[in-house]
Amino acid sequence: MHTYLNLKKSARISHDFWEVTSEAGMFDIVVSGLGDGRHRALADGHEFVNMSSYSYLGLDTHPRIVRAAADAVLAEGALNSSTSRMRIRFGSLRDAETALSELFDVEAVTVASCAAAAWASLPLLASGLLTDDVPPLMVFDKNAHFCLNALKPAVADEAEIVTIAHNDMAALEDLCRKHPQVAFVADGVYSTGGAAPIAELLRLQEKYGLFLFFDEAHGVSTVGEHGRGAVLEEMAARGGMNDRTLIITSLNKGFGASGGAIFLGRSGDRKRRDTALRNGGPLMWSQRINTAGLGAIMASVELHRSPELKELQLRLQDNISLFDSLVDTSFGGDGLPIRFVDIGSEEATIRLAGELLKRGYYTSPIFFPVIGRGKAGLRLMLRANMAEAEIRDFCTALNDGLRAEGLAAGAVGVEAVGAEEQRR
C-alpha cells in the first residue's frame, strides 16, 4: 500500500491550510464575471482582478468563441448525444477533431478534460500498445502534474515506474542506456513555473528512441506558430510530431474553449487513433466535450489561424516582460505566463493573499500537496488582456505585502511535490 500515493496522509497534512484559506475568504468565492479577468463577489460586491486565471490570451470571453458555443447547441438541438462516441457521434465532434488535427498537424482526439486525457493515454502507453507491444520503463519527472502522478497506480499495473529529480537529464540518459524501451512523462510547461528541457529531451529521443509524453496544458496557444505550444514549436525544426511522442493538453486554458485533447502522432495516423479509441478508457465512454464546447473549439481554431493570435501572443509577452521588470522571481525572463512568488510559510502566504484580495487582486496561495512542504507561495498568471496600469498597481501591492512580511520581492525556486513525497 501507498507505493505511489497516500491521499489520507496528504489530506491530513493539508487540512489545516485549506481551513485557514477558507476562513481568510480565499476559497470558494462565488462571483459574477465583469470581463477581461475581472469579477464581482456576489456575497459583498467586492470587485477584483483575477491574477490566477489560466486564460492566458483572454479567449475565455472572446465574443466569437462565446457566440460559436451558443450557435453550436442551437444547430445540433442538443447539448450532448449521451451515448458512447464509438457508437454515435455528432458531426460537430468530427469537425472539431478534424480542425484541431489540421491546425497542429497532429492526429487529435478530444476528451472532457486534460485529466481525462491523461487517464486515457498514460496506461495505454505503459501497456506497450504504442511501443511495439513492449511495455516501456515509465520514468516520471518529479514535478510532473498531479493528474499524471495520480495515474501511477494504474500505470504500475502495466509497467515498471521510476521517478527522477526535476529536469535531471543525466539520470534519464543513464536509464536510456540500461533499458531498451523508456518513456519519459513530464510537463512541457510546468503549472508552478518553468519548462522541460525540450531540446535535450529530443536529443535523447533521437539517440535512444526515448518515448516522450508531455502535458502541454499551459503551453498550447500561448507560444508557437498558430499556438502549437512549446513542445511542437521545438519539434517543428525536426519535422514536427513523430510516432515516439504523445501530447495531452487543455482546450480551455490558453485555447479558450472547453475540454482536453490527445495528440497521438502525425495527422492521418489512423492506426494509433483506432488503438486509442478502442482501448483508452475515457475515450470510450459517454462523457465528452459537449456541443457548446465543440462549437467553441471550431471558433478558437479559426482565431488561431488569424493574425489576431499573434497580436495576443505579443501582448502577453509585453505583459510578462512588464511584470518581470517589477517583481523578481526565479522564472523571470523565460517568456512563459506563470510566475511563482516563493514565501515558504503557509501562514504568511495566506496572509499576503488576503491582503492582496482586499486591494483588488485575487492570487492563488499554493502549498502542500500541490507543492512540497515548507515551499508555499503565490502562483500568478499573466494574461494578454491585462491593462498596464493593472499590472503596475498589482506589483506595487505585491511588493508592499512582501516587505510587510519581511520578505524580499523574489523567489529562489519552487519544487513541486512528487508521488514519493505524497507517499511519505
Q: What is the pLDDT of residues 190-204, one digit of tens each?
A: 988 999 999 999 999
Q: 408 falls in which pLDDT band (50, 70, 90)? A: low
pLDDT of 73 over the 90 cut: yes
For 298-346, how does the pLDDT look when each residue is reduced to its tens digit (9 = 90+)? Answer: 999 999 999 999 999 999 999 999 999 999 998 999 999 999 999 988 8
- The burial of 207, by beta-carbon neighbours within 10 Å (0-12 exposed, 13-18 middle, 19 or more buried), is given as exposed
| Distance of alpha carbon 319 from alpha carbon 326, whole angstroms | 11
- pLDDT for position 410: 45
pLDDT of 10 over the 90 cut: no
pLDDT of 93 over the 90 cut: yes
- pLDDT for position 82: 83
- pLDDT for position 337: 96
Kindly state the average pLDDT of the residues 135-151: 94
Number of residues assigned to the chain = 424
Domains and CATH numbers, the chain: 7-50+307-423 (3.90.1150.10), 63-304 (3.40.640.10)
For 356-397, how does the pLDDT look when each residue is reduced to its tens digit (9 = 90+)? Answer: 999 999 999 988 777 777 889 999 999 999 999 999 999 999
- pLDDT for position 419: 37
DSSP state, residue 135: P
- pLDDT for position 402: 94
- pLDDT for position 413: 40
| Distance of alpha carbon 68 from alpha carbon 300, whole angstroms | 9
- pLDDT for position 254: 97
| Distance of alpha carbon 358 from alpha carbon 362, whole angstroms | 9
CB 255 within 8 A of CB 227: yes
- pLDDT for position 395: 97
pTM: 0.93
- pLDDT for position 415: 43
Q: 267 falls in which pLDDT band (50, 70, 90)? A: confident
Q: 16 falls in which pLDDT band (50, 70, 90)? A: confident
Considering only residues 421 and 280, tell me which one the structure prediction assigns the higher pLDDT. Answer: 280
Q: What percent of the chain has pLDDT over 70?
A: 96
Q: In what order do the strands lie in the sheet with 31-35?
A: 31-35, 38-41, 47-50, 361-362
CA angle in degrees (0–180, nearest 5) for 349-416-355: 15
Rounded to the nearest integer, the mean pLDDT of the chain is: 92
Least confident interval from 20-29, 129-138, 174-183: 20-29
Q: In b/e form, how buried is each residue of 108-147, taking b as 16+ CB within 10 angstroms?
A: bbbbbbbbbbbbbbbbbbbbbbbbeeebbbbbbbbbbbbb
